Homo-oligomer: A and B are copies of this chain.
Amino acid sequence: MKQAGIDGNTKLLAIIGDPITQVRSPEIYNPRIVKAGVNAVLQPMQIPTATFDDAIKGIMAIGNLLGVVVTYPHKERVLRYADQIGRIGQAVGAINAMRREPDGSWTGDMFDGAGLLGALASLGQTATGRRVLILGAGGAGSAITMALAAAGAAMIGVFDLDANRAAELAARVQTHFPVCCARTTEPDVTGFDLLINATPVGMAPAFALAPFRGALHAGLTVIDIVPKPETTSLLALAREKGCPTANGAAVVSGQADAVLAFFGIGSSEAPAQAKLPSLETRS
């Protein structure tokens, strides 16, 4: 085990959740922070729901805290502690990062979908004008959908086994990003140019094929957010058909870049979201 170059000047980034032992973010973020030449560390903190309010108030009172990365189950609960919330965070109704501004106020936003934009960028692509079929309207699917809508996707078809959940997400897109055409859809890829699997289907050991219909073709980009295995059944099939593909690792990498850019770290790789002057005061 290597050890921290922590000294009196080291700034703190907290990642809060419960449980916390499963988080991989410290191992992903900390080498990037070092590479960016910033004296800060991302430190996991297990915050039980029962003591969440005491804990977050206390953490926010730490003078050398840059901000907080938020994971399950606190992404909605932390909202009330942000003075400003970015438009994606507003649209999703949850945030996964909150930073201290120079004036002492706190800004939160949701970056769980930002990694998808990074994965697209790794293929030399953008979200602008895309017709997207997204499978899964849960937490990840919602964040991805809003990130794509904010980044200029032309239309987004949402499929979920829970039809109500899909309908609710499509409606929220219309409310927050009216120029993006969002609607519920069957999982048929016909007419789409970007397919995203935001369901857990395909995770090892089951390794099932994410449910879709229609023919995969070279004009369809396929991204699977499932982190393991590296190549899901969906991605293997897509590559066979000549589709450009990106996997869960590319999404995770893109999200780390986006979150760190939000904290002012490694901004050379900053994604569009972090640069948007789009923060609105919480109503």
What is the interface of chain A, defined by CB distance below 8 A to chain B?
1-10, 12, 18, 20-24, 26-27, 30-31, 33-34, 39, 41-48, 51, 54-65
- So how many copies of this chain end up in the complex? 2
Given A58-B56, A58-B58: A23 in contact with B8 (beta carbons within 8 A): yes
List chain B residues, Cβ under 8 A from A34: 1, 3
Selected from B22, B39, B61, the residue in CB contact (under 8 A) with A55 is B61
Given A55-B58, A58-B58: A47 in contact with B63 (beta carbons within 8 A): yes
Known: A10-B44, A20-B64, A54-B58. 20 other contacts (CB 8 A): A3-B4, A3-B31, A3-B34, A4-B5, A4-B30, A6-B26, A6-B44, A7-B24, A7-B44, A8-B44, A10-B43, A18-B63, A45-B64, A54-B57, A54-B61, A56-B58, A57-B57, A57-B58, A58-B60, A59-B59
List chain B residues, Cβ under 8 A from A57: 54, 57-58
Q: How far is the CB of A46 from chain B (nearest CB, A)?
A: 3
- For A1, give the chain B residue with the smallest CB separation: B5
Q: How far is the CB of A54 from chain B (nearest CB, A)?
A: 5
Can you sample 19 A-B contacts with CB below 8 Å? A1-B5, A2-B3, A3-B4, A3-B33, A4-B26, A6-B41, A7-B23, A8-B23, A10-B44, A12-B44, A12-B45, A20-B64, A43-B43, A45-B65, A46-B62, A54-B61, A57-B58, A58-B58, A59-B62
Evaluate contact between A12 and B64: CB separation under 8 angstroms: no
Evaluate contact between B6 and A42: CB separation under 8 angstroms: yes
Evaluate contact between A41 and B4: CB separation under 8 angstroms: yes
List chain B residues, Cβ under 8 A from A5: 1-4
- Most B CB within 10 A of own CB, among A9, A42, A43: A43
The 5 closest A-B pairs by CB, nearest first: A58-B58, A46-B63, A4-B4, A1-B5, A55-B61
- For A60, give the chain B residue with the smallest CB separation: B58
Q: How far is the CB of A248 from chain B (nearest CB, A)?
A: 18
User: How far apart sit A104 and B61, CA to CA, in the bound complex (Å)?
Assistant: 23
List chain B residues, Cβ under 8 A from A26: 4, 6-8, 10
List chain B residues, Cβ under 8 A from A10: 26, 43-44
Evaluate contact between A9 and B21: CB separation under 8 angstroms: yes
- For A3, give the chain B residue with the smallest CB separation: B34
List chain B residues, Cβ under 8 A from A54: 57-58, 61
